[in-house]
A and B are shown apart, each in its own frame.
Chain A
């Protein structure tokens, strides 16, 4: 039986679908910010902490990097209730994605710390910079420039990984596509539109980040 694509039935649902993009971006932003904070703490421990703390953080990061995000969220969603902690799907996803992003950003931010050269600090000292001046005028600009490209890349990845929240019935982009699918059964039409939305959304996000990086931090990067 031949199947003909019929987009007519689906057009009406586009505003509803696009409204899901707000939740997608929210979830991505939460995971990104929380992950950046976790990454900052963990990267600091890895760089400057005592040995036992370093080993603990290294172990956790390795475990999170080598297991799938989906199973991590399943674990949080299904295991914590056994211990008496009930979580809403959105909360469980936000926690799982934050922890996962935290592991990735630990690696990114640690690489940023390492890229800071001793000579830069020596130069600042020679010029008579105070500690606050050194941090503000030497360390922060350097680290921001080094970290901006990989972190913006991480944010784009974050937008795409939030699609997993649909599996837990969170109504973001993919979740809403599931809902429309249940109503219309126009499966291929909906998911092809969804794919286009994700491509456009991430390209726009990339373009905004590249533009912001150029204007604010003089980071040279391109969208493609």
Chain B
């Protein structure tokens, strides 16, 4: 088995396969980062809609909460199939990439809404009261007072979730989108050994996921340090 494998390696990493894997890798990266971007945008809207002090429209709040609860409880594969067949039956011609991207965005939005909600809730209510007393509008309070304080709570877990989105894009192989997992399946079907095809696939996923996770951890450490420094003067003021 090993001798055969050694003979196969140069063929496996030939120019055509490298180009194929490169395209697949690019699709995976685009899918996860664009999906995360869209997801966080919609997630932000959702968490604003459900925040008790922002819009204050009950039906919107309920709708936002329902969206978040429902979409977090449906497996990615089932969401993908629903979106895929909905597009197919609506009769519009769309690329597989669009179908996968829509699924990632819909799915990411629900998770992002939860992260952003936790961030907004981490800011004490007195901040809202103070801003209201100073006659700040709600939008200005959100963007100038609350959001800057909630970044340390939002950003570090966000990176962990982006890794999660990256991993779930592997399921997009089921609708035949050329991303890493599908590429590995194709290479395996073309006669390359499963060890090489899926092993390379796993390593490539690791190579894109791990740095993202490390970036999140580094950011968490940095923000934690900065928060401690800014909180020290307040402590001194209180003592005086």
Contacts and interface: CB of A to CB of B under 8 A. Distances in A.
A123 B96 CA distance: 61
Contacts of B81: 177, 187, 191
B202 A163 contact: no
A161 interface: yes
Interface stretch (A37-45, A61-69, A210-218): A61-69
A203 interface: yes
B89 A66 contact: no
Given A71-B170, A78-B188, A167-B174, A198 B198 contact: no
B86 interface: yes
B98 to A, nearest CB: 18
Given A1-B91, A174-B78, A198 B73 contact: yes
A66 to B, nearest CB: 4
Contact of A187 (B85, B185, B188, B209): B85
Contacts of B209: 66-67
Nearest to A164: B77
A166 interface: yes
A55 interface: no
A191 to B, nearest CB: 5
A160 interface: yes
B156 to A, nearest CB: 15
A188 B210 contact: no
Contacts of A137: none
B202 A195 contact: no
Nearest to A159: B75
Interface in A46-101: 62-63, 65-72, 74-75, 78-79, 81-83
Nearest to A205: B73
Interface in B119-160: none
A195 B78 contact: yes
B121 to A, nearest CB: 14
Interface in B26-84: 65, 69-70, 73-79, 81-82
Interface residues of A, number: 39
A190 B201 CA distance: 32
Given A188-B89, A195-B79, A199-B73, A68 B168 contact: yes
B184 to A, nearest CB: 7
B61 to A, nearest CB: 13
4 closest Cβ contacts across the A-B interface? A68-B170, A78-B194, A163-B75, A66-B209
Given A164-B77, A188-B85, A191-B82, 11 more contacts: A3-B91, A65-B213, A67-B209, A71-B198, A71-B201, A164-B171, A187-B88, A188-B82, A191-B85, A194-B78, A224-B69
23 contacts: A68-B166, A70-B171, A74-B184, A74-B198, A78-B194, A79-B198, A79-B199, A81-B194, A82-B1, A82-B193, A156-B73, A161-B75, A163-B75, A163-B77, A164-B77, A164-B171, A166-B77, A188-B85, A195-B82, A198-B75, A198-B78, A199-B74, A203-B73
